[in-house]
Structure 1
Amino acid sequence: MSDTMPIITISREFGAGGRTVAKGLSKELGIPWYDRDFVRLTAKMSGYSEEEIEDEGETISDSARFLDSILNNMAAYTSSHDAIYQAQKDAMAELAKNPCIIVGRCSNVILREAGIPSFDIFLHADYAIRVERAKALVSDKVTNVEKYVEKIDEQREKHYKVYTGGRLNKAQDYTICLDTGVIDYETCINVLTRLIRG
C-alpha cells in the first residue's frame, strides 16, 4: 500500500464479525470507523430521520421497489429508498475526505464509482458458525436465530444487487476476502493491519 492511509470498506455476511474487525482495525490504524455513526451523519446531511435511514439500511427488497413503482407511476419519480441511498453516497463522499473505515452499505462500489481509491474487505464464515455468534447477539430478541440470519443475509444480498447490479460475495469486487470462521478476529486484524500499512 502507499504511504497514505486508504479509505477502508468492510462488507460482510451477518455474524462474520464486521464491527469487531472494524473496531480492531480502527484501534490499530488510528483512524475512525463508521457504522452507527454513519447513520447519524447521513440523517444530518439529508434531513431524513435516523430511524428511516436505519430501517432502509441494507434491507431494501425488490418487492419494495416494485411496489414503489406501482404506487408512484411517474417518470421522474425517485423513491424514498433511492433518495436515502443517494444521501448515503453523499455522506460517504464526505467521510472519504479523510482516512476511515466504512462498514457495509455498498461502500466498496460507491467509492469505486466515485473514483475514490479504497481497500475493500469481505468477511464471511460458515453458516453454522455465524448462527452461533448471532445467538449471543440477538437470542434475547429473536425466537428463531437460524431464520433471522438467513433473512438478514437475503436482505443484504438483495440490497447489494438492486443498487450495484452485482453479488455481495463476489471475490473480484474486493481487495481481500477472509473467512473469520477459520481465521480468528485477532489474526484477521493483524493481517489486515500489515497489508494496509505495507
Structure 2
Amino acid sequence: MTKRIITISREFGSGGRFIGEEVAKNLGIAYYDKNIIDEIAEQLGLSPDYIQESAELSPKKGLFAYALVGRDITGKSVEDMVYEAQRKVILDLAEKEPCVIIGRNADYILRDRDDVLNVFIHGDMPEKIHRIIGLYNVEAKEAVKMMADTDKRRMTNYNFYTDQKWGKASNYTLCLNSSQLGYDRCEKIIMEC
C-alpha cells in the first residue's frame, strides 16, 4: 500500500523537524507540527501556549508528579484531555489529506493504518550539541541540558500514553541517524519509502 502519511519522531537537536518540513515541501503535501496546537487549543478552550507546554512534553515532572495533578470528575487530568484532543486532531488530519506529522505520538496514534510511514530521527551527541548551540544561541553545557530535558519529557510522555518505548526501533518503519546520513540523504530515504 502507498504510504500517504509520514510521522516523524525525533531526538532534540537531530534535525527531525527540518527534515520533515523539507520532505513535505518536496512531496507537495501538508506539514503539521506546531500548527496542530492551535486546533487542540480551540477544541479545549485553552491557550496555545499552555497546549504547547502540555501536548508533547507532558507529564512535566515525571510519572509520580503526574499522579498528583488535579483531575476532573471523570478522573482525567488536563494533560489527559490535551492528549485526547491531540489524538482526535491527528486522526482527523490523517483522514483529510496526505501529510507529514512531527512528533505528538502520531506514530502510535496512527498505528492501525496501513498507509503510514513511521520515522525516528536520531543523531550523534556532538552534532546535536552543535545544532542546538547554533539554533538557540546557547553554550554547550546549556545545549546538553536542553537536549536531556526535552528528550526525557518526550520519552516520559510517549512511554506513558503509548505503553511503548520511545526511540525503540521496532516502533518505527525507519530509524535514521541524521549525523551519519546527513539531512539530504535522510530526506531522500524517507521520500523513496
- Tell me the TM-score normalized by structure 1: 0.88
Match for 1:10 among 1, 8, 11? Answer: 8
- 2:113 aligned with 1:116: yes
Q: C-alpha displacement at 1:127, in angstroms?
A: 1.7
| Other structure's SS at 1:77 match | coil
Task: Name the aligned partner's letter for residue 16 of structure 2.
Answer: G
Please show how residues 154-165 of structure 1 align to structure 2 within 5 Å.
154-165=152-163
Q: C-alpha displacement at 1:64, in angstroms?
A: 3.2
Structure 1 distance, partners of 2:46, 2:141, is 31
Structure 1 distance, partners of 2:146, 2:122, is 17
- Equivalent pair of 2:7/2:103 in contact (CA under 8 Å): yes
Query: Percent identity among equivalent residues?
Result: 32
Structure 1 distance, partners of 2:140, 2:103, is 22
Task: Name the aligned partner's letter for residue 80 of structure 1.
Answer: V
Q: C-alpha displacement at 1:45, in angstroms?
A: 2.8
- Tell me the TM-score normalized by structure 2: 0.90
Q: C-alpha displacement at 1:48, in angstroms?
A: 2.2
Which residue does 2:33 correspond to in 1? 35
- Equivalent pair of 1:45/1:91 in contact (CA under 8 Å): no
Please show how residues 1-198 of structure 1 align to structure 2 within 5 Å.
1-2=1-2, 5-60=3-58, 61-68=62-69, 71-72=70-71, 76-97=74-95, 98-112=97-111, 115-117=112-114, 118-140=116-138, 144-195=142-193
Q: C-alpha displacement at 1:125, in angstroms?
A: 0.6
Unaligned runs of 5+ in 1: none
**What are the superposed Cα offsets for residues 67-97 of structure 1, whole Å, 9 maximum, x if unpaired?**
21xx55x873110000000000010011111
Segments of 4+ moved more than 6 angstroms: none
**What are the superposed Cα offsets for residues 107-127 of structure 1, whole Å, 9 maximum, x if unpaired?**
100111xx3331100000112
- Equivalent pair of 2:55/2:79 in contact (CA under 8 Å): no
RMSD: 1.9
- Equivalent pair of 2:6/2:101 in contact (CA under 8 Å): yes
| Other structure's SS at 1:42 match | helix
